[in-house]
Amino acid sequence: MASHSSPPASDAEHPLLNVPRAQLPRHVAIIMDGNGRWAQRRDLPRIEGHRRGVASVRRTVEECTRLGLEQLTLFCLSSENWKRPPEELEFLMHLLEQYMIEERGTIMQQRIVVEAIGRRTGIPPRVLDEMDRTIELTAGNPGMRLCLAINYGGRSEMVDAVRAIAQRVQAGELAPDAIHEETIAAHLYTAGRPDPDLLIRTAGEMRVSNFLLWQISYAELWVTDRCWPEFRTEDLHEAMRAYVQRDRRFGGIGRM
């Protein structure tokens, strides 16, 4: 598995994808959508879709680790999701707590670093305790960074960043004309982390849903009609191959 300090060789082909390693994305972000719809189409309760979705998380994390990604960011709970029925939210919190406990050994074995972004308000203390324990235990690992967006909203993140910058200006630590894009990026939850190269969304929805609004400015988008519980390793590979074929110009002139 690749470490952060030793990226994969640039000219060798990745054995799983038959594409040059250097062309693979460093950072993949996923909007894991469609758990409830998957369940309802099968006359199952919505919570069963969330339960099945955990298996897709496990498969995807394992495969991204094998592919040597630097970071995988998963949209686990949106700040807007608190509008859902209380029993569904309670089950989601239970799943998150269970994941932190049951997957801890595997995460350590795979040398993954676990991080979380989003506001902690509203998350039950028992869940925060297990999440914090996993984050602390994995902090020194050399492998892929697994970032979980929990109670996260892109606009809320920007509000928090602006507040922090305003406090520095008010304290005389920062002049207004010294505020640049780098200043804002340094005050986001993701400060010091690479922006996503590839954003994957399941369940066919063609929107970004308030996810990493600043960070995905130049990300390549890939959407599948499959709901998240149906998301397979082959789908991840297909997204990677599509990414490799994109001409990423960043506002300049692409390859001819």
From CA 226, how far away is CA 56, in angstroms rounded? Answer: 12
For 131-165, the pLDDT digits (tens) are 999 999 999 999 999 999 999 999 999 999 999 99
Whether the Cβ atoms of residue 21 and residue 244 lie closer than 8 Å to each other: no
Catalytic choice (11, 18, 43, 81): 81
pLDDT at 2: 37
**pTM assigned to the model:** 0.90
> Residue 193 domain-assigned?
yes
Put residue 193 in one of left, alpha, beta given phi > 0 → left and psi -120 to 50 → alpha: beta
Whether the Cβ atoms of residue 208 and residue 216 lie closer than 8 Å to each other: yes
**Domain limits for position 147:** 49-153+187-243
> Residue 196 domain-assigned?
yes
Closest alpha carbon to 25 in 71, 75, 73: 71
Our answer to whether residue 35 is catalytic in this structure is: no
9, pLDDT greater than 70: no
Residue 232 CB neighbour total at 10 angstroms: 14
Catalytic choice (11, 18, 33, 247): 33
DSSP 7: P
For 222-231, the pLDDT digits (tens) are 999 999 999 9
Which helix (H) or strand (E) segment holds residue 29: the answer is strand 27-31
Percent of the chain's residues with pLDDT above 70: 91
Average per-residue pLDDT in the chain?
A: 92
Q: How many domains does the chain have?
A: 1
> Residue 171 domain-assigned?
no
pLDDT at 21: 75
> Residue 204 domain-assigned?
yes
254, pLDDT greater than 60: no
Our answer to whether residue 33 is catalytic in this structure is: yes
Here the CATH number for the domain that contains residue 125 is: 3.40.1180.10
Least confident of 50-54, 84-88, 96-100, 188-192: 84-88
Our CA angle for 24, 29, 31, nearest 5°, is: 140
Closest alpha carbon to 96 in 20, 150, 168, 46: 150
Closest alpha carbon to 72 in 18, 2, 5: 2
Mean pLDDT across 103-126: 97
Confidence band for 7, pLDDT divided at 50, 70 and 90: very low
